[in-house]
Amino acid sequence: MRHTVLFTSVLVLILTACDKKPSQEPFIPTPAIESSGTLPPGHPPVESAGQTTTLSGLTESPQTQTATVLTTIQIPQFTYIEVKQNDQKRWLAASTIDAQKGDTIEFDAGSTISDFNSKALDRSFPNMTFVNNATIKKAK
């Protein structure tokens, strides 16, 4: 009997707590510091919304590099490409491309990972550069 009264009391407490609805108005905090509209001394000027800012040293278009294809390995959705560039060999990973030995390809700088392990090939590469764009350069 004692447990039944305790259980019923807890149940009633839980059910009444669940019936409370949150306030309909969202909480909007007031700013801790009001803006004076002026920048602190030494702060660079803020450009208007219509202008775009470029970081120094970066160009509008991606850097294009070229290399000669030595070998390719096709896996679903990717092509691993061993290339020779400036008398050095390196590996690239790109979206599927039909590159053949001897082709010249153009590609962006990409991002390089050291000691890359390909689970699909169960193979490790000393370095793998993942490029966003790789195209076969047409002969002139």
User: 79 near 73, Cβ under 8 Å?
Assistant: yes
| Domain membership flag for residue 88 | yes
Higher pLDDT, 40 or 54: 40
**CATH number of the domain bearing residue 117:** 2.40.50.140
How much is the pLDDT for 28? 66
| Domain membership flag for residue 30 | no
Structure tokens that stand for 89 in this block: 């060999």
In this prediction, residue 51 has a pLDDT band, given cuts at 50, 70 and 90, of very low
Q: Average pLDDT for residues 1-13, to the nearest whole number? A: 69
Q: Average pLDDT for residues 93-108, to the nearest whole number? A: 94
Convert the pLDDT of each residue in 32-45 to its tens digit: 555 566 766 766 76
**CA–CA separation, 55 vs 61, rounded Å?**
13
| Domain membership flag for residue 112 | yes
Domain with 123, as residue range(s), is: 65-136
| Domain membership flag for residue 120 | yes
| Domain membership flag for residue 80 | yes
In this prediction, residue 9 has a pLDDT band, given cuts at 50, 70 and 90, of confident
Q: For residue 47, what are the CA distances in angstroms to 39, 50, 51?
A: 12, 8, 7
| Domain membership flag for residue 15 | no
| Domain membership flag for residue 84 | yes
| Domain membership flag for residue 29 | no
The full DSSP string for 66-112 is EEEEEEEEEETTEEEEEEEETTEEEEEEEE-----TT-EEEE---EE
pLDDT, the chain, mean: 78
Q: How many structural domains compose the chain?
A: 1
Of 71, 77, 69, 79, nearest to 106 (Cα)?
A: 69
pTM for the whole structure: 0.55
Q: Average pLDDT for residues 55-74, to the nearest whole number? A: 74
